[in-house]
Structure 1
Amino acid sequence: MLLFVFIGSYSGRRVKQLDDYFVAGRQAPTLLIVGTLVASVFSTSIFLGEAGFTYDGQMGPYILFPGIAVVGYVYGALLFGTYLRRSRAPTVADFLGQRFNSHRVQQAAGVTIILGLGGYLLVVTQGAAILLSDLTGLSYGQAIVCAWMSYTLFTLYSGSRGVIITDTLMFMLFTGATLFFAAFIVADMEGLRTAVENMAQLEEKPDIASWHGTVGPGTEWATPTEFLIWTVIIDMSWGIVYAVSPWQASRHLMARDEHVVIRSAIYACFAVILIQILIYGLGGLINLANPNINPSETVMIWAAKNLVPEFLGALLLAGIVAAALSSASTFLSLVGFSVSNDMVKRHSPTLWGTRLVMLVTGLVVLLASFYFPPNIFWLMLFIGTVFASSWGPVGFMSIWSKRITADAAFWGIVTGFGFNVVPAALEYLGMVNWPVYWSPAVIGASASIITILLVSRMGEVTPQEQSYREALHHTPAEDLATGKTRLTLWGPRLLIVYGCVMPLLLLHYYVIPYQQGKEELAASGGVNWGQGEALIVIAIPCLFVPLGLLASRVIRQRYLPTSGVSVSPNRV
């Protein structure tokens, strides 16, 4: 918290105009964009909610599944993020308003930001309060106020410039802390292969390390097939969230150039994979020390207090607090920016007016934190998929469709949001139980796409909308550089290498030990390829190798000076 105060004071003095406050002067390098991408997506939700989820029974699938969600960073940067940066808009909702020459579209997008990210900010604030109350002896209410004040005062003064600096520092802190913590835990369990073999034999949760985890009575999924469908839908939804959601895509508006956008997205993809494997694996492995932690959301806190030296435990807990505060500052800044810039039609918001709006927004979140009971994991899933259905279709079509109209964009956002929120609320209240293949995310996305297609048929694209979209497809002259392009191409190469190497690592350190523990190895003593754990590993190269090849081709065609692309020396 003291670090937040120091950086906020330093960054706030450097904020001279709205461009500094909203998008950090559009000069952020790769490291800062990677840091803010990862820190803004990781919060108490992964260290508490998702770690508790894998502890309860879903370690296996969360380790083995091929990263369907995180590839959204890559295709999002290539198909949306770079074009978003060309717009030089202050917010993503502002971009949609400019693209469709419609303040109504901007307002609709702004409302989803306020409601969706406001809800996410609520989740993060409550998660930070749970952690602080457990560590310090403060009451839950006192911890809420303490957490809220630390990120609100910082964000009010420093804006995006301070947010991306603290995000990067906090990203380094919680990544380093998690690495050291995981290394100690695994070593204490006699190595990773031994730990996985023991997990396969865990009597209290016999399927926790299998490819489908714990399913059946008492869970959300009756069969492994239902869990597979649910996981694929959730991962695809989160892939779209990583690609176009306002709290991820808006980071690209701060990038120094389009090469930074692409490099940052690919490196963030790897960083997220690493941290997820560490946290998900730890959440499951802690069962070997204590399979009866309740509530399960405190599993990482329990481990920090009981399984490692005091210093290492304190380092991890500091990392979790850092993740919570950095995410909270990001969400508050985005909600405040949207209220100030997107909701009221005016020539230009003022710096101090924006800060005042952000303070009022923060006060609303503070009051809501006392009213709503915390439910970190499921609220996080619900809020994330809202953006997949309300922003996904409109976001991508704003770049790639010549036929989508302003009215279609508006109603696509509205129906995507409404047809996700209402079914999810009905299910939450116990009034309906949707089948896994017809989740609220699927309902909302389907409604949005159908609405866009139907409404677009009833209208026409205006000349202003057409010319704006065409201008987006001109590569900025400063990004046509052989040296920059060669450096950027290392990202796709690493995607291909990952796709080839990761299956071998999973086979050696997870699949074979698991099959040994279950006595399911082939008669020859090798991998039994008839089991789901081995088959899922094959999906990794099928996903990442083509993605790397495609990314390499797009980068070469778009940014090499000899590629013959259309060039724009000016901004949109």
Structure 2
Amino acid sequence: MNIYFWGLLVSIAVYLLVGNYAGRKVQGLDDYYVAGRKAPTLLIVGTLVASFLSTTAFLAETGFAYDGYAFLMLALVAINTSGYVIGALFFGRFVRRSKSLTIPEFFAKRFDSRAMQVLAGFTTVIGLTAYLLAVTQGGSILISDVVGIPYGVALIMVWLGYMVFTLYSGSRGVVLTDTIMFLLFTLVSIVAFPYLLGEEGGWNATLSALATSEAKPGIVAWHGMTGEGAYWASGKDALIWALVLGVSWSLVLAVSPWQTSRYLMARSEHVVVRSACISGLVLAVLYVVLMMSGAAVNLVNPDIEVSERVMVWAGMNMMPAFTGTLLISGIMAAALSSCSTFLSLIGFSVSNDIVKSTRWSEQKTLRMSRYIMFFAALTSLILAYFQPPAVMWITYFAGTLFASSWGPVAFMSIWSRRISAPAAFVGMLVGFVINIGAKLLDNAGMVALPVYLDPFILGFASNLICILVISRFTQPTTAALAYFEAIRRTPEEEFDPAEVKKTLVWPVVVMVSGLAIAGLLVVFYAIPYAAALGRDFSLLSGESLLSIGYGTSVFCVGLLAYWQVRRVYGRKAALRAIPTRHSEAHS
């Protein structure tokens, strides 16, 4: 057994120890499902980022960068990270007010409809089972490569690791381990970065060598590789793909159950907004590091057959043993944290949203949740064994299911009085079915969908049309309207002047960071790239526009957050602060 194996073993052991500690704190459903609703900003940031990144980022997307699409991924990320702030401001903080145990339960309350809860529960189970499958495969590939054991044996090891932990500790354990693992893989990604660039003598030399690569021409162009043998025939097709997936994944980050359910654990609405700002900024920075890391491995080994293994190979061959061990342990941490999140949400949805009985006690509900999680984990194990690994594409398929089925319903549940339960039900169902059906037909070769008719777009548009048409002929119930009005009222405790002041700091940090990111990418990417190709630098080149757009998108979401916090909380908080200032003056 090598040092990398022992590193993995230690990380799994820590994971289980934390889970055991958290499991002993579980006293009831609130503890098990939503961590007692007391989580501070750091824990919410940790679980948001850890549950999103998983092996998709560290294995699949870095492999995508290695294949020739490093900066195209940044075009996608520039859009999708906005979903954190948009979701928190226009959906997440309202969901938190509902005091629900799950997001499907929120839909049931909002639309006065048990059927909505069941449908949302089913979509959660189907979508997250696919996502769990992808992440389980990613973790198994990692162990198989590092330890040199058969994929099936590695699969069982990963499965046992997250299954035992999640069954016992629930969301209280998940949020703690997510945060520990988030800190680990973020730190390790940054520490490992210089080693991946060091072969060519640093950033500029690496970028120049990649820009002039003959093996993969265009690997660090804004559009990546295009033409014969590439994923896309032209830069235009590549850009449309990035924009469509970017919008889709911004909706995933805004409304999907494994992201918005984290806000149910938050201590306050201010924690929701702060954590969204920080999470989006962290991802924007981390993706620049990860994508350049994946591309840089080409300069040492351009012949890795399975690109999803590129970071594992780099950790074992391009870094000192200790740093490589930390990197591989960080990737495993990302895998286990996501697996535990998805498995817990599957169990919660089945027991609370699909088969819930009013006759069950809290203890029986807890017991049923654990039984259901076990069978869900067993199902994912069987599927992962027989389904050939395809981490990135399974993840993208599963994620966009929620964008097309939940997106319109989620936002309209907060911002439309007219949307009725029948309209929401049909819209969610149609969006889900159209997305799956179009994807299956496309994969089977029965239809050839152009980039601009992605299954997400077809599902989303069908969903929205159904909602608008059916809402014209149906009415929301009195209970649904009353609940709508109730969640639109901001709780008085959220107007605390001190809390508002602390919250406003983070949008400013995001705005300043966005401007800095834009400037740094122009200086360290667009200008050196043009120089490497012997071109005159232009602010209108694709690389310059990508650099400026990437930072500007970060700036804009910070500006949006600042404006909304001032609008929603600031004025009343300022009025509250006046008596305090007067009393201080008199004293």
Count of residue pairs brought into register by the alignment: 561
Q: CA–CA distance in 1 between the matches of 2:174 and 2:540?
A: 48
1:470 pairs with 473, 477, 485, which one?
485
Partner of 1:562: 572
Partner of 1:102: 113
Deviations 1:273-305 (A, max 9, x none): 122111111111111111111111111111111
Q: Which runs of 5+ in 2 are unaligned?
A: 1-11, 576-587
Structure 1 residue 375 corresponds to structure 2 residue 390: yes
Q: Is the 8 A contact 2:73 2:242 kept in 1?
A: no
Partner of 1:536: 546
2:411 pairs with 374, 379, 396, which one?
396
Q: Is the 8 A contact 1:65 1:537 kept in 2?
A: no
Is the helix fraction higher in 1 or 2?
A: 2
1:358 pairs with 339, 358, 373, which one?
373
Structure 1 residue 460 corresponds to structure 2 residue 460: no
Deviations 1:325-379 (A, max 9, x none): 0000000000010011000242256211211111121111111112211111111
Structure 1 residue 548 corresponds to structure 2 residue 558: yes
Deviations 1:296-324 (A, max 9, x none): 11111111111111111111000111100
Q: CA–CA distance in 2 between the matches of 1:432 and 1:546?
A: 38
Displacement after TM superposition at 1:189 (Å): 2.6
Q: CA–CA distance in 1 between the matches of 2:24 and 2:427?
A: 41
Partner of 1:114: 125
Amino acid at match of 1:513: P
2:210 pairs with 196, 199, 221, which one?
199
Q: CA–CA distance in 2 between the matches of 1:490 and 1:206?
A: 43
Structure 1 residue 410 corresponds to structure 2 residue 420: no
Change (3 A) 1:92 1:503: same
Deviations 1:532-568 (A, max 9, x none): 1112223245434343233212112222362699xxx
SS in 2 for 1:133: helix
- Name whichever of 76-85 and 366-375 sits farther off: 366-375
Partner of 1:438: 453
What is the RMSD of the two structures over their aligned residues, measured on CA atoms? Answer: 1.6
Change (3 A) 1:66 1:528: farther
- Name whichever of 179-188 and 258-267 sits farther off: 179-188
- Name whichever of 488-497 and 556-565 sits farther off: 556-565
Q: CA–CA distance in 1 between the matches of 2:177 and 2:372?
A: 22
Partner of 1:311: 322
SS in 2 for 1:43: helix
Amino acid at match of 1:89: S
Amino acid at match of 1:207: G
Q: Is the 8 A contact 2:35 2:265 kept in 1?
A: yes
TM-score by length of 2: 0.93
Structure 1 residue 514 corresponds to structure 2 residue 529: yes
Alignment of 1:19-98 (within 5 A): 19-63=30-74, 67-98=78-109
Q: Is the 8 A contact 1:481 1:560 kept in 2?
A: no
Q: CA–CA distance in 2 between the matches of 1:23 and 1:120?
A: 21
Q: CA–CA distance in 2 between the matches of 1:499 and 1:9?
A: 40
Q: CA–CA distance in 1 between the matches of 2:172 and 2:77?
A: 34
Q: CA–CA distance in 1 between the matches of 2:301 and 2:77?
A: 28
Identical positions, percent: 45
Q: CA–CA distance in 1 between the matches of 2:321 and 2:193?
A: 15
Displacement after TM superposition at 1:430 (Å): 1.8
Alignment of 1:168-247 (within 5 A): 168-247=179-258
Structure 1 residue 268 corresponds to structure 2 residue 279: yes
Q: CA–CA distance in 2 between the matches of 1:187 and 1:490?
A: 36
1:487 pairs with 498, 502, 517, which one?
502
Partner of 1:524: none
Amino acid at match of 1:539: G
Deviations 1:84-108 (A, max 9, x none): 0000000011101111011110111
Displacement after TM superposition at 1:65 (Å): 6.0
Partner of 1:8: 19
Q: CA–CA distance in 2 between the matches of 1:41 and 1:157?
A: 22
Q: Is the 8 A contact 2:423 2:467 kept in 1?
A: yes
Partner of 1:451: 466
Deviations 1:52-91 (A, max 9, x none): 1110110122246671100100011000000000000000
TM-score by length of 1: 0.96
SS in 2 for 1:67: helix
Q: Is the 8 A contact 2:121 2:353 kept in 1?
A: yes
Amino acid at match of 2:423: A
Partner of 1:251: 262
Amino acid at match of 2:224: G
Change (3 A) 1:456 1:253: same
